[in-house]
C-alpha cells in the first residue's frame, strides 16, 4: 500500500489517466466531427430540397398573381399621381437622360454647322489674327506696358513719405489722385496716338485698368491702416476694426507681390498654399493653349464671316437684324464662355499656383444666378470684392442710399467697360456703357420676378436672354460696323 501510494506511482497514475482522458476526448471530437459533417450533408440536402420547394412556392404565387391580380376586372388606376413633367413633380426626379439628349443634339447640330461652314467658306484661319505685322510694329504700346510699374513705385514712395510724416494727409491724397489718373490716361493717350492693332490696344488697356484698380486699393487701404495706426483710443480702435490688419508699414515686397497677385484688393499678407504643383501648372497651360486656339477658330471661322456679311443692326430691316443677332449669338456665347474659362479659371489659377496664392475663389456658380444682381456678385469675384470694399461700403458709410451706391458701382463698371472697348477701337460710341447701365433696370425686374416666383428660374432665363443671346451679339455688330465706317472715312 505504501509503495503504491508513493509520489512516483501517483504521477504515473495521473499520466495514464490524462492520456486515457485525452484519447477519449480525441475519439469524442472525431466522432462529433464525423457526425457534424454527416449532419451538415443531411442539412445541405434538406436545404436544397427546402430551397427548391421555396422556388416552387414563389412560382406558384406568381402564377396565382398572374391569374388573379392581372385580370381585366382589376383596377389599373389605384392612386393620385402627377405627370413627371408637371410643375409639382418635375424637380422630384432626375433628368439625366434629357441632359444627355441635349448634349447629343448640341454635338450633332454644331458638327453640321462646322461642316457647312467649311464647305461654304473653306479654311479661314491664318496666323495674322493673333500675330500680324501690324501687331509687331506696336512697339510704343509695348514700351508703355513695360513702363506701367513706375506708377506703383511712385505710390510706394508717397506712402513711405506719409509713414515718416514728411507730408500731410491732404498732400498724400492729392499725390495718389495724380498717380492713379496718370496710370490710366498715359496708356489711353499712347493707344489713341498710335494706329495700333485691336488686340494690342485691348491688352494694354486691360493691363492699365488692372493697375489703376490695384493702385486705388493700395492707396485706400494704406490710408485706412494709417488712420488706425495713428488712433489714440486703442480700445475704440479694436472695437471698430477687430478683423482689420492694424500693423501699418509701407512694405515694398508686399506691394510687389500684390501687383502680380490675382487679386485687386490690397492687404499686407495673404493666405498662402504650401507648395507649387509643377505638373498641375503644366496641365493647366496645355488647357489654356487648347481653349485659346478654340476661341481663335470660332472667331475666324464663324464670327468674322457673320459680322462681315451683316448690315448695321440699327439701319436696316428689323427682322433681318434679329436674324443676324440670333445667328451670331451662338458662336459669340461659345467665345465668351471660353474666355471666362481661360481667364478666370485657368490663367488666374496658374498665377495663384505659381505665387502660392491661397484664396482662389475667383468666381462662384454665376450660371445659376436667379437675378442679374446675383450674376454680377458671382461671376467676377476680384472686381466684385473691389467694388464692395472701395465703392459700395464707403458710399454707405457716407450716408448714401443703397440704390445710389449700387448705381455708382454700375457707373464705374460701365466707364471701364467703355474704355476697354472704345479706346482700342479709337471711337467712343458708348455702346458698352449703355449696355452695362441697362443692367440696372434688369436688376430691378429680375429681383421683382424672383420675389414673386420664389421657386422659379425666370430671372436666370432673362439674364441669359438679354446678356448673352441679345446684348453681346448686338454690341459686336454695332462696334464692328462703326469701326468699319471709321476706317472707311479715315482711308
Give catalytic residues, as residue numbers. Answer: 417
Residue labelled with grid coordinates 494704406? 222
Q: How far is CA 362 from CA 23, 340, 351, in A?
A: 81, 11, 12
SS3 readout for the chain: CCCCCCHHHHHHHHHHHHHHHHHHHHHHHHHHHHHHHHHHHHHHHHHHHHHHHHHHHHHHHHHHHHHHCCCCCCCCCCCCCCCCCCCCCHHHCCCHHHHHHHHHHHHHHHHHHHHHHHHHHCCCCCHHHCCCHHHHCCHHHHHHHHHCCHHHHHHHHHHHHHHCCCCCHHHHHHHHHHHHHHHHHHHHHHHHHCCCCHHHHHHHHHHHHHHHHHHHHHHHHHHHHHHHHCCCCHHHHHHHCCCCCCCCCCCHHHHHHHHHCCCCCCCCCCCECCCCCHHHHHHHHHHHHHHHHHHHHHHHHHHHHHHHCCCCCCCCCHHHHHHHHHHHHHHHHHHHHHHHHHHHHHHHHHHHHHHCECCCCCCCCHHHCCCHHHHHHHCCHHHHHHHHHHHHHHHHHCCCCHHHHHHHHHHHHHHHHHHHHHHHHCCCCCHHHHHHHCHHHHHHHHHHHHHHCCCCCHHHHHHHHHHHHHHHHHHHHHHHHHHHHHHHHHC
Contact yes or no for 425/483 (Cβ under 8 A): yes
Q: Is 147 left (phi over 0), alpha (psi -120 to 50) or beta?
A: alpha
Residue labelled with grid coordinates 424637380? 91
Q: How far is CA 412 from the centre of its chain?
A: 23
Contact yes or no for 43/51 (Cβ under 8 A): no
What whole-number distance in Å separates Cα of residue 336 and Cα of residue 471?
A: 12
Contact yes or no for 351/273 (Cβ under 8 A): no
Q: How far is CA 261 from CA 72, 76, 205, 222, 255, in A?
A: 75, 67, 18, 18, 10
Amino acid at each position: 500500500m505504501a509503495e503504491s501510494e508513493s509520489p512516483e506511482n501517483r504521477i504515473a497514475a495521473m499520466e495514464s489517466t490524462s492520456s486515457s482522458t485525452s484519447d477519449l476526448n480525441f475519439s469524442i471530437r472525431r466522432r462529433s466531427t464525423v457526425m457534424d459533417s454527416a449532419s451538415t450533408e443531411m442539412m445541405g440536402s434538406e436545404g436544397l430540397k427546402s430551397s427548391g420547394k421555396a422556388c416552387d412556392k414563389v412560382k406558384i404565387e406568381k402564377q396565382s398573381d398572374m391569374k388573379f391580380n392581372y385580370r381585366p376586372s382589376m383596377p389599373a388606376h389605384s392612386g393620385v399621381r402627377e405627370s413627371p413633367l408637371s410643375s409639382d413633380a418635375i424637380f422630384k426626379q432626375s433628368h439625366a437622360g434629357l441632359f444627355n439628349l441635349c448634349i447629343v443634339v448640341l454635338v450633332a447640330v454644331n458638327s453640321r454647322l462646322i461642316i457647312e461652314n467649311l464647305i461654304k467658306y473653306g479654311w479661314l484661319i491664318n496666323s495674322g489674327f493673333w500675330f500680324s505685322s501690324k501687331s509687331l510694329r506696336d512697339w510704343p504700346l509695348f514700351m508703355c506696358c513695360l513702363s506701367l510699374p513706375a506708377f506703383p513705385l511712385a505710390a510706394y514712395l508717397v506712402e513711405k513719405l506719409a509713414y515718416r510724416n514728411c507730408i500731410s494727409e491732404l498732400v498724400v491724397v492729392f499725390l495718389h489722385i495724380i498717380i492713379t489718373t496718370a496710370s490710366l490716361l498715359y496708356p489711353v493717350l499712347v493707344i489713341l496716338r498710335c494706329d495700333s492693332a485691336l488686340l494690342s490696344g485691348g491688352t494694354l488697356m486691360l493691363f492699365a485698368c488692372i493697375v489703376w484698380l490695384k493702385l486705388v486699393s493700395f492707396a485706400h487701404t494704406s490710408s485706412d491702416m494709417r488712420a488706425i495706426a495713428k488712433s489714440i483710443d486703442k480700445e475704440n480702435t479694436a472695437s471698430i476694426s477687430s478683423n482689420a490688419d492694424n500693423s501699418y508699414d509701407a512694405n515694398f515686397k508686399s506691394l510687389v507681390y500684390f501687383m502680380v497677385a490675382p487679386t485687386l484688393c490690397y492687404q499686407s499678407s495673404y493666405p498662402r498654399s504650401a507648395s507649387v504643383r509643377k505638373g498641375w501648372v503644366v496641365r493647366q497651360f496645355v488647357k489654356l493653349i487648347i481653349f485659346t486656339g478654340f476661341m481663335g477658330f470660332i472667331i475666324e471661322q464663324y464670327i468674322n464671316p457673320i459680322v462681315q456679311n451683316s448690315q448695321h443692326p440699327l439701319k436696316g430691316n428689323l427682322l433681318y437684324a434679329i436674324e443676324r443677332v440670333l445667328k451670331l449669338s451662338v458662336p459669340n456665347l461659345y467665345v465668351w464662355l471660353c474666355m471666362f474659362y481661360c481667364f478666370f479659371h485657368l490663367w488666374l489659377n496658374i498665377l495663384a499656383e505659381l505665387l502660392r496664392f491661397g484664396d482662389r475663389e475667383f468666381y462662384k456658380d454665376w450660371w445659376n444666378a436667379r437675378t442679374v444682381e446675383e450674376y454680377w456678385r458671382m461671376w467676377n469675384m476680384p472686381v466684385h470684392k473691389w467694388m464692395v470694399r472701395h465703392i459700395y461700403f464707403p458710399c454707405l458709410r457716407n450716408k448714401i442710399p443703397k440704390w445710389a451706391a449700387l448705381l455708382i458701382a454700375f457707373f464705374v463698371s460701365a466707364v471701364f467697360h467703355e474704355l476697354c472697348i472704345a479706346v482700342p477701337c479709337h471711337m467712343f460710341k458708348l455702346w458698352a456703357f449703355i449696355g452695362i447701365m441697362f443692367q440696372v433696370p434688369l436688376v430691378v425686374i429680375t429681383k421683382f420676378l424672383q420675389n414673386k416666383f420664389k421657386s422659379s428660374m425666370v430671372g436666370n432665363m432673362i439674364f441669359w436672354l438679354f446678356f448673352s443671346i441679345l446684348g453681346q451679339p448686338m454690341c459686336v455688330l454695332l462696334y464692328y460696323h462703326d469701326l468699319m465706317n471709321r476706317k472707311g472715312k479715315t482711308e
